[in-house]
Amino acid sequence: MSASSSYHAARTASAFIDLSTRGRIAVGGDDRASYLQGLLTNDIVALGSGEGCYAAYLTPQGRMVADMQVLDLGKELLLDVHPSVTTMLAERFREFIFTEDVSVDDRSTRWAAFGLHGPDSARIVGEVVRPIAGDRSASLEPGEPVEAIVPVTPVSMDELAAYPEFRHLVGRFQGVPVVTARSDEAGEVGFTLYVDAGVGSALGGALATAGAVELDPATFDLLRVEAGRPAFPADMNQETIPLEAGIEDRAISTTKGCYVGQEVIIRILHRGQGRVGRRLVGLGFESQGEPHGEPPAAGAILTTSLRDGGTSSPSGDAAQPVGVITSSVWSPALDRPIALGYVKRELTEPGTELVARDGDRQHSGVVTPRPFLSLPKASSLSARC
């Protein structure tokens, strides 16, 4: 299946990607929620069984160590993290346990995961995953009990699609429990499915049989950038303050108690009125038509726009670096290159003209609101895919 076909499927029907390489850490014990409450940026104690949230773990200086999806499975909390930080996080979270009743278990190799995205995804979930009648415990693997909100009667597909992000339920596939969590990562109705690794391959095959098209990582990244979602560690890393990446509305609770790095975040939010030196923005570039409209590469330097072949910036000085590209793609829906990148805070206004300098190439662009697909499309999707 070509990339354009899988992209079209994700935007008009349904497509899936194997996410089994991501890290999955299970935190158990009676004190699990209060323990993570003092470590993560979001309100973990407020979660009920079957709910979830997006959160970050910071350094004392307020820089990001990792971002994560947190699901309350009833008897455990599941942390879905980037694979590059899984081992480090599991070890660090164990080190902080003193008298608390908490266990930390890296389940990455024992659980498989799939992302399913597109307007037809709820139907496919309903076809592949069988509901469990009654409120009962489930287990993703023998001897590893987890529990989630399970409806007494099956949830309709409309109800499933309307779930808030990270809300989840447990069903069964081939007699094995499957946690199905809502996801907006690709800008369409989507779900993340977690299952015992022993049936992971079979679940992927069942999704394909039901009509979902398999996505490669590059096409999934394209969907993510069009949705304006920053990813760790591409767009956020150990030098990033969450407010720079614009994830504070999703990842940070301003009403919970103390957590690692909170002092820095509160100081910026209240004393600094949320001002940081740079911000992640969307960037749209001039379309030259495929295949000549390649986007500027990640790492390309952003400078102030130079008009009419001039050599000075609007301030009269030589053009100076003002930012950097972190993710870039060619958008079939918008028929032009788009990107995510950091720019100085005074240049974040939509419509601000910038130049991306990628080796010998220069790309004229403008700061663009996110998500990108809220903008008028340059050509119809069906014509591009």
Domains and CATH numbers, the chain: 3-219 (3.30.1360.120), 226-384 (3.30.1360.120)
Percent of the chain scored above 90 by pLDDT?
76
Report residue 155's pLDDT band, with 50, 70 and 90 as the boundaries. low
Report residue 158's pLDDT band, with 50, 70 and 90 as the boundaries. confident
Residue range 344-362: mean pLDDT, rounded: 94
Minimum mean pLDDT among 1-5, 170-174, 206-210: which range? 1-5
- The amino acid at residue 174 is Q
Decide if pLDDT at 192 tops 50. Answer: yes
Percent of the chain scored above 70 by pLDDT?
85
- 229-258 pLDDT, tens digit per residue, is 999 999 999 999 999 999 999 999 999 989
- 123-150 pLDDT, tens digit per residue, is 999 999 987 643 344 445 543 433 443 4
Minimum mean pLDDT among 24-33, 236-245, 288-297, 345-354: which range? 288-297
| Nearest of 371, 316, 304 to residue 343 by alpha carbon | 304
CA 213 centroid distance within chain: 20
Select the more confidently predicted residue: 377 or 331: 331
What is the pLDDT, as a whole number, of residue 159? 83
- 52-87 pLDDT, tens digit per residue, is 999 999 999 999 999 999 999 999 999 999 999 999
Residue range 94-118: mean pLDDT, rounded: 97
- 27-46 pLDDT, tens digit per residue, is 999 999 999 999 999 999 99
